Amino acid sequence: MALTERLAGANVQVGDELPGRELKPDNVQLFLYNAALWNAHRIHFDHPYATEVEGYPGLVIAGPMLGDWLNQCVEEWLGNAGRLTSIEYSNRAASYIGETLYSGGKVTAVDPASGEVQIEVFIKNEAGEVITPGVATAMMER
C-alpha cells in the first residue's frame, strides 16, 4: 500500500519509522544556501579562516540547513496525507563539509481524535551521534 494511502487511513502508529536519507552536502550546496540567505559568515566558505583562525576541522555546515532537513524528513513522509504544523530542534554539535549525515525519525504519539501526530526526528553523523535532535507535530488529513 502506498504511504499516503496508509496515512490517509489514519493507520499511523507509534513506533512507525520515517524513511531515512543520506545527506552529503558539498561546498557548492553550502555556498548556495548561504547566498540564498545573505549569510557571509566565513566559517562556511573560507577554509583557511575556518581552520586557522576559528580552529574548526573544516567548513562548518550551517545549523539552520540541518534544521531544514528535519522539516524535509517529515514532509516527505507525510506527502499529501498531512500537514507539518510545528517543529522544534537544537543544533547540539557542529558538522563539517566532507561528512556524511543521516536524517530520520519515528512516530512517538498519535491522537486519533484530533489527527495530531508527534514525531521525533534527528540528524546523525557517521559516528551515529545525534547532532540535531528535534520534535515535529503534524496534523493528518481526515
Residue numbers at the binding site for another protein (CB under 8 A): 23, 25, 29, 32-33, 35-43, 46, 49, 53-54, 64-65, 67-69, 71-72, 75-76, 83-93
Sheet architecture: strand order including 101-111: 17-23, 101-111, 116-124, 130-140
Supply the minimum distance, in Å, between the C-beta of residue 2 and another protein. 16
Minimum separation from the CB atom of position 37 to another protein (A): 4
- Rounded CA separation 18/136 (Å): 12
Give me the amino acid identity at 65: M
Closer CB to another protein, residue 13 or residue 83?
A: 83
Nearer to another protein, 74 or 107 (CB): 74
Asked if 85 and 138 touch (Cβ cutoff 8 Å), the reply is yes
